[in-house]
Amino acid sequence: MSQLNPSRRRFLTNTASLACAGLAGRVGVAQDNLKPQVEGNLAWYNVEDWGVEGKGFDDTARYFDRLPQRAEQRVRAAVWGLSRHSAGMLVRFKTNATSIDVRYRLLSNRLDLPHMPATGVSGLDLYARDTQG
């Protein structure tokens, strides 16, 4: 069981990492033809234009919901509430940027939970991989 917790934690943090974010910098992704919104020296990209991994359904009420809209009347309210969280989704990208800015909007007033700090509930994670892995 103890080995599952780090794996689960890594999974949850990876998937929440850039789910609700626009990214800055020179991004090289499969969709190289996407044009950023430029503001000063920042080039903003919308991850919805790239596609998000871990998204199980396309017919969701909000882009980062985990269940389709039709499920709202079929599942318990608690399950539907959890489905509004973006856990399980992630975005991969390449960049040569020296800094990365993230812009996202929280859709809940609850920034933390009794068992989880605000960084785990309303924050995001960014993981990097270089030539050494």
For residue 102, give the H/E element and its range.
Answer: strand 102-103
Domain membership of residue 54 (yes or no) is yes
Q: Does 133 fall in a domain?
A: no
31 assigned to some structural domain: yes
Residue 44 domain-assigned (yes or no): yes
| Interval 14-65: pLDDT, tens | 444 433 333 333 334 455 678 899 999 999 999 898 889 999 999 999 999 9
Domain span at 32: 4-114
In a domain, 72, yes or no: yes
Instruction: Note whether 95 and 85 are within 8 A (CB).
Output: no
Query: Number of structural domains, the chain?
Result: 1
pLDDT in tens, 93-116: 888 888 999 988 888 888 888 898
The verdict on residue 128 lying in a domain is no
pLDDT at 54: 92
Question: Could you tell me which of 98, 90, 88 has the C-alpha nearest to residue 126?
Answer: 90
Residue 40 burial class via C-beta count within 10 angstroms: exposed 0-12, middle 13-18, buried 19 and up: exposed
Domain assignment present for residue 91? The answer is: yes
